Chains A and B, each alone.
Chain A
């Protein structure tokens, strides 16, 4: 993507964002609330349209694509999906086949097979007939990954997909995505609040501040004490994870600004 500007009404959400993602890369997008992570994800998925600049996948500007074609290229795993009417997990995964079907066409054997495989990989087969609103948060996110896989995309966007998961399910989620990234060559762009997870799983990390790219590079270069403290305006300690040498951040509880002093 090149030279992206975007604004909501009068507020600039993103300014002059330019970067390339290699095929098969796992890119983490981090930054404080309101820094533009979700806006960036929605721009790449074509839900928002940039004021200026272009976003291309495989050299094709997504602006000129039909939604159906875009949905075969890019899939999104959202934060959480509240369903008002109770679809079964299988129905949700089969929705992923929708961009591949013509109007009035029903899902055939092949679509069913693709959905089944997606559910195998994500270990959701046993949930197939359960209603999506009766699943736990971790199960539901796995079903949504299966739906994204059923789209057979080249790129998967994670929009803070682990925000409502506990640490076990966060790790399982990123582990699964990493496996798909390495195994199937899926390109993954993950917007997340969890800097340590991003450091552990991403090839490169983009740090956003006030709608601009603050820094972009391998985790070791981006996640430094000075970068994080500056962008998040919070004191942190960054050291090396003793297991793999990747950067690890620790929040330094600030006594003066704490709740106790109120």
Chain B
């Protein structure tokens, strides 16, 4: 039995480094990909070797497209992918359910109702209007689900799960109601939001989200080892010295908030938070000290790829990124189900 088979900080380090490298490559390809008809070679030269001269070899039009349109969008997609994948890992572990995803506690339904209300009343004119309403909807829903799932001071995973499912079902009825009474112009926006809309990226949002993601990721990572024990069973975790109640509370809250933040700015992007944790678990094992950073980084790369495809697959129009993630994610998940044990 060798020491090296077990997790160590250096293993976490090099896996993370490889995945950061992957993200850089993916981002580099993504920034050069687009319908604007820019010469890829000259832009690549100007972009990757021109940083010393302040990118002067690039034309002003190219600069605008690269730095004000594509780059923010790539970082935006990266942050959302990272947040959803991390939250997915957390929920699958806490609920001890491999089918859990970040939306399982009703965050998606709640934020959708908030966002759609915003679209219908025209909150889009106010800065952060729709994200704020979506966030409010998400937080209120999580609070509601927690109140339902709280039994004599402890959060019961099964009750939480069922509460989330029911709340989501209730909200989809509310969403359908809104859709039936809304105008054609709103309908397009609603449909886009429901499948994940990345076109709203700007640096203000990115800064805010990056900050919140960083806080969430650090908090979650502090509980990575206790999370391993909770996966092994809540009573086992207690027997091995974990304050299960506090750990669950902190992790449920940070997972929900990370999801709520991602959802509020982009709408509902499915399958990222479900599939990425599984892929990483199969590749790297169940230890959350490795699984959490790996999922965060790989999730970021995955969503950048999906969003780039959504941007360029049809000329002159853009698909909601959720269409791509679902079209890739669902068959891949079926493949996993059929070929391997979860």
In the complex, are the beta carbons of A81 and B232 less than 8 A apart? yes
Give every chain B residue within 8 A of A92 (Cβ-Cβ).
232
Q: Does residue B138 face the partner (Cβ distance < 8 Å to A)?
A: no
In the complex, are the beta carbons of A67 and B1 less than 8 A apart? no
Q: Does residue B199 face the partner (Cβ distance < 8 Å to A)?
A: no
Q: Does residue B243 face the partner (Cβ distance < 8 Å to A)?
A: yes
In the complex, are the beta carbons of A72 and B241 less than 8 A apart? yes
Write the chain A residue with the least CB distance to B341.
Answer: A86
Q: Does residue A260 face the partner (Cβ distance < 8 Å to B)?
A: no
Q: Does residue B125 face the partner (Cβ distance < 8 Å to A)?
A: no
In the complex, are the beta carbons of B232 and A109 less than 8 A apart? no
Q: Which of B18-26, B159-167, B285-293 lies at the interface?
A: B285-293
If A86-B286, A116-B1, A125-B1 touch, does A107 touch B6 (CB 8 Å cutoff)?
yes
Within 8 A of B (CB), among A102-160: 103-104, 106-107, 109, 112, 116, 119, 125, 128-129, 151
Q: Does residue B176 face the partner (Cβ distance < 8 Å to A)?
A: no
Q: Does residue B98 face the partner (Cβ distance < 8 Å to A)?
A: yes
Give every chain A residue within 8 A of B243 (Cβ-Cβ).
66-67
Q: Does residue A68 face the partner (Cβ distance < 8 Å to B)?
A: yes
Write the chain A residue with the least CB distance to B244.
Answer: A67
Write the chain A residue with the least CB distance to B2.
Answer: A128
Give every chain B residue within 8 A of A128 (Cβ-Cβ).
1, 5
Q: Does residue B189 face the partner (Cβ distance < 8 Å to A)?
A: no
| Interface 0/1 of B236-265, CB less than 8 Å to A | 101111110000000000000000000000
In the complex, are the beta carbons of B236 and A81 less than 8 A apart? yes
In the complex, are the beta carbons of B241 and A67 less than 8 A apart? yes
If A90-B6, A101-B225, A107-B6 touch, does A119 touch B239 (CB 8 Å cutoff)?
no
Q: Does residue A262 face the partner (Cβ distance < 8 Å to B)?
A: no
Q: Does residue A45 face the partner (Cβ distance < 8 Å to B)?
A: yes
Cβ of A57 to closest chain B Cβ, rounded Å = 14
Choose one: B1, B5, B238, B286; the contact of A87 (CB below 8 Å).
B286
Within 8 A of A (CB), among B28-72: none
How many angstroms from the CA of A68 to the CA of B3 in the assembled complex?
Answer: 25
In the complex, are the beta carbons of A91 and B241 less than 8 A apart? no
In the complex, are the beta carbons of B98 and A84 less than 8 A apart? yes
Give every chain A residue within 8 A of B130 (Cβ-Cβ).
none
Cβ of A78 to closest chain B Cβ, rounded Å = 7
How many angstroms from the CA of A80 to the CA of B222 in the assembled complex?
Answer: 29
Q: Does residue B311 face the partner (Cβ distance < 8 Å to A)?
A: no
Give every chain B residue within 8 A of A71 (Cβ-Cβ).
239-241
Q: Does residue B281 face the partner (Cβ distance < 8 Å to A)?
A: yes
In the complex, are the beta carbons of B239 and A75 less than 8 A apart? yes
Q: Does residue A247 face the partner (Cβ distance < 8 Å to B)?
A: no
If A81-B232, A116-B1 touch, does A91 touch B240 (CB 8 Å cutoff)?
no
Within 8 A of A (CB), among B268-292: 281, 285-287, 289
How many angstroms from the CA of A109 to the CA of B241 in the assembled complex?
Answer: 21
In the complex, are the beta carbons of B341 and A84 less than 8 A apart? no
| Interface 0/1 of B209-240, CB less than 8 Å to A | 00000000000011001101101110110111
Give every chain B residue within 8 A of A151 (Cβ-Cβ).
240
In the complex, are the beta carbons of B233 and A95 less than 8 A apart? no
How many angstroms from the CA of A92 to the CA of B285 in the assembled complex?
Answer: 13
Q: Does residue B8 face the partner (Cβ distance < 8 Å to A)?
A: yes
Q: Does residue A251 face the partner (Cβ distance < 8 Å to B)?
A: no
How many angstroms from the CA of A74 to the CA of B238 in the assembled complex?
Answer: 11
Choose one: A99, A106, A119; the contact of B9 (CB below 8 Å).
A106
How many angstroms from the CA of A129 to the CA of B2 in the assembled complex?
Answer: 10
Q: Does residue A197 face the partner (Cβ distance < 8 Å to B)?
A: no
Choose one: A74, A76, A84; the contact of B231 (CB below 8 Å).
A84
In the complex, are the beta carbons of B228 and A95 less than 8 A apart? yes
How many angstroms from the CA of A96 to the CA of B239 in the assembled complex?
Answer: 9
Task: Report B's interface with A, CB cutoff 8 A.
Answer: 1, 3, 5-9, 93, 96-98, 221-222, 225-226, 228-229, 231-233, 235-236, 238-243, 281, 285-287, 289, 341
A-B contact pairs, 27 of them (CB 8 A): A45-B238, A66-B241, A67-B238, A68-B241, A70-B241, A71-B241, A78-B235, A78-B236, A85-B98, A85-B281, A85-B286, A86-B286, A87-B228, A87-B232, A88-B5, A90-B6, A91-B285, A91-B286, A95-B232, A95-B236, A103-B222, A104-B221, A104-B222, A106-B8, A106-B9, A116-B1, A129-B5
Task: Report A's interface with B, CB cutoff 8 A.
Answer: 45-47, 66-72, 74-76, 78, 81-88, 90-92, 94-96, 98-99, 101, 103-104, 106-107, 109, 112, 116, 119, 125, 128-129, 151
Ranked 6 nearest A-B pairs via Cβ? A71-B241, A99-B241, A68-B241, A85-B286, A76-B239, A128-B1
Additional A-B contact list (10), CB under 8 Å, known A81-B236, A90-B5? A46-B238, A87-B228, A87-B285, A91-B287, A95-B229, A98-B226, A99-B240, A103-B225, A116-B1, A125-B1
